[in-house]
Structure 1
Amino acid sequence: MAENFRSVPTYRGPVQACIFDWAGTVCDAGVFAPVLTFQQLFEQEGVPITSEEVRKPMGVHKRLHIQAICNLPQVTERWTEKHGSPPTPEDAERIYSKSLEATLDLLPANSKMITGVVDTMNKLRSDYGVKIGSSTGYTSEIMARLKVQASAEGYTPDSYVTSDEVKEGRPTPSMIYLNMIRLNVYPAQAVVKVDDTTGGIEAGIHAGCWTVGIAKTGNYVGMTESEMESADPKELEAKVAKARQILYKAGAHFVIDTTNDLPAIIDLINQRLALGIKP
């Protein structure tokens, strides 16, 4: 009878690493740097776009993001009215070629750390022994600027992975896997992916990680911290509830308002891991 069974290793240890997105998750509440960048770029083409149009494909590589905006029916229609024909892949590539300089211009004023996040990162390291990784749709040139600004505010991840370091970024798990290699962390269920976009959540699911969506400070609410403080509470809660629904629908195991709520979720995940439960 015993020959009908086999022993399979079961991980029962704690969370070893959390891999965080940047805009909307740890900095830039409301995710304004990418939105303002793309609005500026399309304005230069004579085709204004709304923040809602920019936010729909948020979370993928910026090249794919621009192409996705061009493919939106209403944007295609306005582009055709302006230029006489629909936008081509070459048009999208030309816009992308300008995106680095535009992003670097707008980044400093729109990348302030979200209140409390630095303290939360310190708590994750000191109380839970967690390593901190990062993944982003930003390129390495942009991250070179962003990580200096973040470090000055007290946030320095143990690993940085940008979209241009892998063949394809979110929603593939490539950036998560590269973080795991650099952090020397395994198995995947010992890793938590924290992101405010569906693409980031999907990447975590594909990687086999636990996934935590960030609703309130993220892309789908789209408000700065000061705007949230002065907003009508009922209207704000309605927006946050909608964001939660979007993230849960994408497959998030947990959805919280801000990254500052994460330690309590790590406790819950550690309880599950101790029982041998996988994501």
Structure 2
Amino acid sequence: MLIHGALCKRVLSTVVRPTGAPPLNALPSGVRRLTSEERASALYKGPVKAVVLDWSGTVADAHVLAPAVVFRDVFAEHGVPITMEEARLPMGLRKDLHIEKILEIPDVQRRWRRVKNGAAPTPDDVKALFDDFVPLQVSALRKYSSLVPGAREAVRKLRVELGCKIGVTTGFTEAMVDVLLEDTAAQGFVPDASVAGDSVQNDMGFRPTPFMVYENLVRLGVYPIQSVVKVDDTVGGIGEGLNAGCWAVGIAGCGNYTNVASLDEWERMPDDEKQRRIQYSRDKLVGSGAHYVIDSIHLLPDVVNDVNARLAAGDRP
């Protein structure tokens, strides 16, 4: 559908048993299975209470350059060059796990073995890469912390007009998030809660697990999960929202899948190539199972209005 002239794809989520479907398994005496009609009064029909955003590619760093550039540079320092596309493939994961996944790419493994005298990458190699990554990433975040166009106004509308609290999840560590919080506060963005990948107990702060979303909701004091919208530019981030049980919205007009090496490259890129990359991003996010895919964060308040209408009608994620 079109909202104010921009693309927003809505995917209906309610599952209806088809006519002629086989009966459900019989239950023993003393057990009653309630119908959806009988349970209708228990469904949450109130408005969206919280929107949980991603950092890079959603709120700040429009084309997710900070992590991609640093992954590329760190691997180069270890003698194994990787492409920007290879650096981006696991994007959305916690950064130590991201390095592990890069090392699982067959072409990267071949280059690694060639440079390392046939040796396969080990957990110690992952740790060494990550240890070198952290200070470079903290430094790079200062360069790439500009808010995505439309983010500040969208968040204002979500709060003031729609009564939503704002949370954030990320694959960055707390030390990295502290940089983002400081820099984006100076630009007018201050979330009500922010959870980093290393903030969750039992080492479970990674996508697509839902626990960073849940930790946000604890800090925000928000429930039920049907009242929550998760927004991201990656498949892993959409999976995080779906696994949490909330509404999931993908942003396609910027983010990881535009796959650029610099802001200058995007600015100089012909419009037809920009549209090709945005369409690729749309297709990736539609295939992720998102409830909505939008071209820009400025459309997010319109999506929340639509979710509110669906909740009022008895729909759910």
Q: Name the amino acid aligned to 1:265.
A: V
1:1-40, Cα deviation, whole Å (9 max, x unpaired): xx87565621000111000000000110110000111111
Q: Distance in 2 between matches of 1:113 and 1:133?
A: 16
Cα displacement (A) at 1:229 = 4.7
1:32-79, Cα deviation, whole Å (9 max, x unpaired): 000111111101101111110011100011111001001111001111
Structure 1 equivalent of residue 92 of structure 2: 59
2:123 is aligned, of 81, 86, 89, to 89
Structure 1 equivalent of residue 242 of structure 2: 205
Structure 2, unmatched stretches of 5+, are 1-31
1:74-123, Cα deviation, whole Å (9 max, x unpaired): 00111111111121121011111222101011111111111221111111
Q: Distance in 1 between matches of 2:305 and 2:143?
A: 35
Structure 2 equivalent of residue 274 of structure 1: 312
Cα displacement (A) at 1:231 = 2.6
Residue 261 (str. 1) matches residue 294 (str. 2): no
Taking the TM superposition and a 5 Å limit, the aligned residue runs for 1:5-44 are 5=34, 7=39, 9-44=42-77
Are the structure 2 counterparts of residues 38 and 226 from structure 1 closer, same or farther at C-alpha, using a change threshold of 3 Å?
Answer: closer
- The 10-residue stretch of structure 1 (255-264 or 131-140) with the greater mean CA deviation from structure 2: 255-264
Q: CA contact under 8 A between 1:217 and 1:225: conserved in structure 2?
A: no
Cα displacement (A) at 1:222 = 2.9
1:136 is aligned, of 165, 170, 173, to 170
Are the structure 2 counterparts of residues 269 and 227 from structure 1 closer, same or farther at C-alpha, using a change threshold of 3 Å?
Answer: farther
Q: Secondary structure at the match of 1:19?
A: strand
**Bigger Rg, structure 1 or 2:** 2
Q: Distance in 2 between matches of 1:243 and 1:115?
A: 18
Residue 101 (str. 1) matches residue 135 (str. 2): yes
Cα displacement (A) at 1:228 = 4.2
1:124 is aligned, of 158, 180, 189, to 158
Cα displacement (A) at 1:226 = 5.9
Structure 1 equivalent of residue 219 of structure 2: 182
Q: Name the amino acid aligned to 2:290.
A: A
Cα displacement (A) at 1:230 = 4.0
Identity score, percent:
42
Q: Secondary structure at the match of 1:192?
A: strand
Q: Distance in 2 between matches of 1:71 and 1:10?
A: 44
Structure 1, unmatched stretches of 5+, are none
Q: Distance in 2 between matches of 1:92 and 1:28?
A: 25
Q: Secondary structure at the match of 1:49?
A: coil
Q: Distance in 2 between matches of 1:194 and 1:57?
A: 18
Cα RMSD for the two superposed structures: 1.5
Q: CA contact under 8 A between 2:85 and 2:259: conserved in structure 1?
A: no
Q: Secondary structure at the match of 1:164?
A: coil
